[in-house]
């Protein structure tokens, strides 16, 4: 069957700039996709590139969309190269949404990890999120002096109530000595009574230092997670076969076709956390659906909070709404 294809780019400013190791991120840009059948049925998808994580750029995604004909069939999926993983995700989601009615499986905040701001602001932000129902929190490290961050982390750890979990995300910005410093401290907290739980350190070292991360994962009790190292499905497979037994943080919207990721996890169940790349409601729904499917595949692994506690970073704009027809009309 052939469908009418349309696409529209979007720009979505953050409520405040997001500090990352790559600099300040002020605007999320992406592409909304639309298919319409001869009967008038519509499906929507989203391309949300993250080039500093290894996906294609927005310009490359736009060029790919622009060269496509206005009439598409599912054969288009087989023409998308692995160098365009965000496009693979967006178009597979686009076609799959045609086959079903709109549905919204938003989970309660307890199922999500809330991203806290860096520095002192974290101490004034977590309580409101806790009262909303969040129980897992993520805090970036490796963006300031280690002595300052360690002091802030210790303060935050003991501020959080029992029952809370804390994830530390370095985005590959530590060296081995600093990573060991953090891991020594994290190990010291594991037996702390009446305190929060330190869940894992995410990507302590750059991807090229995988051998060292593997060694650290075997040396310390604190769990380690890969993130930048496993940006695409092929990278995930490579690290799996090299013996990684820790956590995999998967940004599904830039990892390639969801069906291929699901197939790999069915054959090789892994301890994973699906994480956001600050998608709109369209991409967000697709990843939540995938997370629920993966949880059913491997129920014996820890059911970790999804990395989707990101909504507070955006204003109350049209990109949150669940009526995707209206979202499209407002682009």
Tokens of 84: 């365009």
Written as six digits, the tokens of 93 are: 């989601």
Q: Edge-to-edge strands of the sheet including 71-72? A: 42-47, 23-36, 3-20, 71-72
d(C-alpha 126, C-alpha 166), whole Å: 11
Calpha distance 152→166 (Å, rounded): 13
In this structure, how many other beta carbons lie within 10 angstroms of the beta carbon of residue 323? 12
**From residue 246, how far is each of 210, 236, 309 by CA, in Å?**
12, 12, 22
Distances (CA, A) of 288 to 112, 155, 180, 232: 10, 32, 34, 18
Angle, CA 72 vertex, CA 71 and CA 74 arms, to 5°: 165
Range 207-216 contact pairs with CB under 8 angstroms and sequence separation of 24 or more: 207/172, 207/235, 209/176, 210/239, 210/242, 210/244, 212/176, 214/242, 214/243, 214/244, 216/176, 216/179, 216/180, 216/183
Catalytic choice (140, 208, 263, 326): 140
The distance from CA 110 to its chain's CA centroid, rounded to whole angstroms, is 17
Among residues 34, 138, 251, 263, the one annotated as catalytic is 251
For 53, list phi and psi in degrees, rounded to 5. -95, -5
Q: Is 155 a catalytic residue?
A: no
Let me know if 140 is a catalytic residue: yes
Q: Which structure tokens are listed for 42? A: 């519509």
What is the end-to-end Cα distance of the chain in Å, rounded? 27
Give the residue numbers annotated as catalytic, written as ranges. Answer: 140, 251
């Amino acid at each position: 069957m052939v469908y009418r294809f349309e696409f529209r780019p979007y720009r979505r400013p953050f409520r405040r700039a997001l500090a990352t190791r790559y600099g300040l991120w002020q605007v999320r840009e992406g592409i909304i996709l639309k298919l319409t059948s001869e009967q008038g049925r519509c499906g929507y998808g989203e391309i949300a590139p993250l080039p500093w994580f290894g996906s294609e750029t927005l310009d490359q995604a736009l060029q790919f969309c622009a060269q496509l004909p206005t009439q598409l069939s599912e054969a288009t999926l087989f023409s998308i190269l692995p160098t365009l993983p965000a496009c693979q995700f967006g178009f597979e989601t686009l076609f799959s949404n045609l086959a079903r009615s709109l549905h919204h499986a938003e989970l309660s905040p307890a199922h999500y990890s809330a991203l806290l701001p860096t520095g002192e602001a974290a101490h004034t932000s977590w309580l409101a999120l806790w009262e909303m129902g969040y129980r897992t929190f993520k805090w970036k490290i490796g963006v300031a002096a280690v002595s300052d961050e360690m002091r802030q982390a210790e303060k935050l750890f003991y501020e959080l109530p029992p029952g809370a979990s804390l994830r530390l995300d370095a985005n590959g910005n530590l060296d081995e000595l600093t990573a060991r410093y953090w891991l020594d401290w994290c190990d010291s907290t594991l037996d702390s009574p009446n305190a929060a739980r330190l869940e894992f350190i995410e990507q302590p070292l750059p991807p090229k230092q995988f051998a060292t991360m593997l060694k650290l994962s075997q040396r310390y009790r604190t769990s380690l997670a890969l993130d930048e190292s496993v940006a695409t499905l092929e990278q995930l497979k490579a690290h799996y076969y090299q013996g990684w037994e820790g956590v995999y943080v998967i940004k599904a919207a830039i990892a390639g076709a969801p069906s291929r990721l699901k197939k790999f996890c069915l054959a090789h169940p892994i301890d994973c956390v699906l994480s956001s790349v600050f998608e709109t409601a369209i991409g967000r729904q697709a990843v939540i659906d995938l997370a629920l499917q993966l949880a059913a595949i491997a129920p014996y692994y820890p059911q970790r909070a999804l990395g989707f506690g990101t909504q507070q970073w955006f204003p109350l704009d049209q990109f949150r709404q669940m009526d995707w027809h209206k979202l499209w009309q407002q682009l």
